[in-house]
Structure 1
């Protein structure tokens, strides 16, 4: 995995993207001026879409986000090692492959953070449930629409506060 640490002194002023990958992807972005925005985006396929359309839409979304808010200096995502369902595992794998190839093409460092690490950092409990993650985001002053956005907010704060797990 590439080293996602920007040059010394740049981490605090760079654009960082955090993602909770899934059909409904949660995202949080810290712009170079320190403003944090977050939300969710759906990559649910349409009725007449081919199998790869969700990944093409994800690629286009990343490109537009980078163009409008970037340049993105680093990307962090929730590294899920176990999925409840086969379909969610396939979607996660496809989105992760799309994300990493997109980042590689642009020279953007990326890294995954284990689910338990993110949950423990956000709530103090490595097996926190969805409600606890939403409550933790609200305690930081955010109003997440769902647990996907709350997880992305938690990933972003973990990355900033631990320098990507190195602090």
Structure 2
């Protein structure tokens, strides 16, 4: 995927990773012995200011994401499905779901392929081999790959980037198979 894949762990403390899709298997705990890849660039972004309105929160994210897309020029975007806490109030629900809606909207407007939305358990299973892996397990897998995530949000985006790479590589193999 020319231009790279941009992975987003959508939350108030947002993790992001953007790098080209590797030619070989994507890095995971399951292929550690055979794969050593450079750490994909990324980081964290604190969306909004504490206590800000839903409008200010989403406006801040939209501006940040639009600037990132313009600067990084990724070919595709993948994000982790927002998980609403059991006791989430309306304000929190709007913020979390609004991040997903804005991601899709801005990708559409910029004509950036939206690879999709992944469930956290799918990301964890791909990256660590366990769908119920906790945050320290995701960070440990990153560290075992020689990567140094800033925090668990950044680590989640790295794991999501790995899954996105797998999805892109599978699609390319399927296209080659149909063309043969």
- Asked whether the two chains share a fold, i.e. TM above 0.5, the reply is yes
Gaps of 5+ in 2: 23-37, 174-180
Residue of structure 2 in register with 1:7 after alignment: none
Query: 1:138 matched to which residue of 2?
Result: 143
> How far 1:156 moved relative to its partner?
0.4
1:93-151 residue CA offsets vs partner (Å, 9 max, x unmatched)? 01111111111111222111121110011111000001101111111221112111111
CA contact (8 A) 1:123 1:136 kept: yes
Question: Matched residue pairs, number?
Answer: 154
Contact 1:158/1:164 (<8 A) preserved: no
Report the equivalent of 1:67: 70
Q: As a proportion of its length, which structure holds more helix?
A: 2
| Aligned position for 1:161 | 166
Higher relative contact order (CA 8 A, sep 6+): 2
Structure 1, unaligned runs of 5 or more: 1-10
Query: CA contact under 8 A between 1:130 and 1:147: conserved in structure 2?
Result: yes
Higher strand share: 1
1:1-167 matched pairs, under 5 angstroms: 11=1, 13-31=2-20, 36-46=40-50, 49-70=52-73, 72-80=74-82, 83-87=85-89, 88-110=92-114, 111-163=116-168, 166=171
TM-score under structure 1 length normalisation: 0.81
TM-score by length of 2: 0.75
The 1:105/1:123 distance shift into structure 2, 3 A limit, reads same
CA distance in 2, matches of 1:82, 1:93: 9
